[in-house]
A = this chain, B = another copy of it.
Amino acid sequence: MEKKVGFVGLGQMGKGMALNVLKAGFDLTVFDIREEAMNGLASQGAKRARSPANLAHQVDWIILSLPDANVVEQVVFGEDGLVQDHEGELILVDCGTTDYQETLRFSRSLQKYGIRFIDAPVTGMDARARDGTLTIMCGGKEEDVHQIRPLLEAVGNRIVYMGSVGSGQLTKLVNQLLYNANVATLAEVLPMAVKLGLDPEKIAEVINTGSGRSLASEFFLPGILENRFNRAYSLKNAYKDMISAAAISAENQIPLPMVHAATTTYQMALALGLGDEDKGAMIKVFERVLNVLFRRKPDGD
């Protein structure tokens, strides 16, 4: 019997993913709080649900693509939430980037409702969501992941099973923490170099061909030099990973000195009002303190 699929959250990532679910031939029902987001999918053949509860009633498998743990909580456990009106077998797959410890809590609660839960955060920007070429890191029972694999293969081309529930979010978090810390180190070291007289373009070239190289340096150095801080998701959004790490560190007594130092830099950047710019904008914290510019020109402000 063909499985019926539900999809909640048709934002930048979710929209492309839901379209690929449809293209793969699944019977798809969608829900989003914005009517217009559902229209696009409906015109391609998806059904609309009136609420998460109404959606859960109609389908076997549900994908969530939501901004954070608070929204997941509301959609799943809130008024008209998924758990309010489901019957029979249901597998819930969270493809958003959701806090690790909240994920463990959600999973425990869902067990009481007989709902099987898989955390399956993705990497890749919206272009890869459209192309169906996302990397998906899964945590949950291995047989559940095996069962929904055809659905995951509709949205991604690299499905990695990481272990028990939460392992997908934890894997993504580890990757993000390294990335975020590497950017924070650039943010302080580059202004030092300029303060002591080095040329930004030359130092950027040496780093990206030398041992200091990272995906962080390769991605952010060109943007920083060009004074462009809108090339990736915002500092405000990236900060949620630092909060997750701080909670894990505190609750599990896991020392993370580098991550904590990076968190301080994130907080300084947010306090200076840089939250809507991308992570490269952390360099402005140290540029301002040292009164130098690594960039070719100052901000307009």
Chain A interface residues (CB < 8 Å from chain B): 100, 123, 135, 137, 160, 162-164, 166-167, 170-171, 174-179, 181-182, 184-186, 188-193, 195-199, 202-203, 205-207, 209-217, 248-249, 252, 254-262, 264-265, 286, 289-290
**Selected contact of A185 from candidates B178, B211, B289, CB within 8 Å:** B178
Q: Knowing A193-B170, A214-B216 touch, does A257 contact B176 (C-beta < 8 A)?
A: no
Given A192-B249, A213-B214, A258-B261, 19 further pairs, Cβ under 8 A:
A135-B209, A171-B202, A174-B190, A176-B212, A177-B189, A178-B189, A181-B181, A181-B189, A181-B258, A182-B214, A188-B258, A188-B259, A189-B259, A196-B248, A211-B215, A212-B215, A214-B217, A260-B261, A261-B261
B196 touching A123, Cβ below 8 Å: no
User: How many identical chains are in the complex?
Assistant: 2
B185 touching A182, Cβ below 8 Å: yes
A166 CB contacts on chain B under 8 angstroms = 196-197
Q: Considering residues A196, A197, A290, which has the most beta carbons from chain B within 10 angstroms of its beta carbon? A: A196
**Selected contact of A212 from candidates B163, B175, B210, CB within 8 Å:** B175
A174 touching B192, Cβ below 8 Å: yes
A213 CB contacts on chain B under 8 angstroms = 178, 214-215
Q: Can you spell out 27 A-B residue pairs with CB atoms less than 8 angstroms apart?
A: A135-B210, A162-B199, A163-B198, A163-B199, A166-B196, A170-B196, A170-B197, A171-B198, A174-B203, A174-B212, A175-B207, A175-B210, A177-B212, A178-B182, A178-B207, A178-B214, A178-B217, A179-B212, A181-B181, A185-B258, A188-B257, A189-B256, A192-B256, A196-B252, A257-B261, A257-B264, A258-B258
B258 touching A262, Cβ below 8 Å: yes
A157 to B148, CA, bound (A): 54
A188 touching B261, Cβ below 8 Å: no
Q: Considering residues A160, A186, A197, which has the most beta carbons from chain B within 10 angstroms of its beta carbon? A: A197
B258 touching A192, Cβ below 8 Å: no
**Selected contact of A184 from candidates B190, B216, B249, B258, CB within 8 Å:** B258
A160 CB contacts on chain B under 8 angstroms = 202, 205-206
**Selected contact of A188 from candidates B179, B209, B256, B290, CB within 8 Å:** B256
Q: Considering residues A188, A214, A286, which has the most beta carbons from chain B within 10 angstroms of its beta carbon? A: A214
Q: Knowing A177-B185, A217-B178 touch, does A257 contact B252 (C-beta < 8 A)?
A: no
A177 CB contacts on chain B under 8 angstroms = 185, 189, 212
A190 to B171, CA, bound (A): 10
